[in-house]
A and B are shown apart, each in its own frame.
Chain A
Amino acid sequence: MTEERGVLPVIQRTITSSQIARYAEASGDRNPLHLDQSFASQSQFGGIVAHGMLTLAFVSEMLTSAFGRHWLESGRLKVRLKAPAYPGDEVRTWGEVVRDHDQNGTRKVVCSVGLKDARGRELIAGDAVVYVTAQEGPGRD
């Protein structure tokens, strides 16, 4: 769970070409921006980039780690995919609880969440909302 109140566990990954290929296979998204170096090199990104949904999966993994089944049952996520991740990039999720209040025995937990690369460039930013049974979840002892 969390190491300190309100801060969500960090998920850290290094993006690889083989992971992008695996993701393309698993998801069925074979956009050449993710798979074809000659096509991608002519794009505004200048090379192959990871799927946005692949990098967003790390944010979801963070929320699953923090909130368990509550995230899977009631989670709401709203993000902008602001910049792509490239093969070789190290990326880290971040998340913090910004609001947490009880609603008739259920906590509504609002978090700011996102993903940055090793240079601090923001790749994903947005908000998540989870409904948690009152005494469960991060940020409560």
Chain B
Amino acid sequence: MTTTTGERLDLGSLMVDRGLVDAYLKAVDDDNPIYSSLDAAPPLALAAHVLSALIEKLSLPPGTIHAAQETECHGLVRMGQEVACHAQLSRPVRRGDWSIMAVQFQVISPAGDILLDGKTTVMVPDEKEQRD
């Protein structure tokens, strides 16, 4: 990892379209019609993409464990908009052979409003713990 504590990370943008939402809902077996009727995305679909973007951006090693999750919705995430994702790292805490890392994130609408934010906490294994 080359990113420093407190640095604001640009996690890129995400087009929230029906294909993305349908693939997510199929993967989690959620057939609630509310998403179609409101033309909206499930909040955790976005949080899931943030986590994946973080793993890639920070080059988190195989074996990294997701330990805790916080999310807060600030409005419906309508389909058809391209949202921006940002994150900020806190200082990792060492515990045995692991580093515990908390990452604050925000999902921002094209108008600049925060649609979703929260905190993802992961446990990152030491190099010697990686078994790839």
Contact = CB atoms under 8 A, between A and B. Distances in A.
Interface of A: 13, 19, 22-23, 25-29, 31-33, 39, 42-43, 51-54, 56-58, 60-61, 64-65, 68-69, 71-81
A77 B70 contact: yes
Interface stretch (B2-10, B35-43, B103-111): B35-43
B52 to A, nearest CB: 4
Contact of B48 (A19, A33, A53, A64): A53
Contacts of A19: 27, 29
30 contacts: A13-B29, A26-B27, A26-B48, A27-B49, A27-B52, A28-B56, A29-B48, A29-B51, A29-B55, A32-B132, A33-B62, A33-B65, A39-B132, A43-B63, A51-B66, A54-B27, A57-B44, A64-B30, A69-B34, A69-B38, A69-B40, A72-B42, A72-B73, A72-B77, A73-B75, A76-B72, A77-B70, A77-B118, A79-B70, A80-B68
A81 B68 CA distance: 5
Contacts, number: 122
A14 B130 CA distance: 29
Nearest to B52: A28
Describe A's contact surface by its main secondary structure: helix
Nearest to B40: A72
Interface in B58-103: 62-77
A79 B43 contact: no
B1 interface: no
Given A32-B132, A56-B44, A26 B67 contact: no
A25 B66 contact: no
Contacts of A26: 23-24, 26-27, 48
A53 B24 CA distance: 11
A75 B30 contact: no
B34 A72 contact: yes
A76 B69 CA distance: 11
Contacts of B68: 78-81
A120 B73 CA distance: 30
Nearest 3 pairs between A and B by C-beta? Answer: A28-B52, A57-B28, A52-B66
Contacts of A71: 73
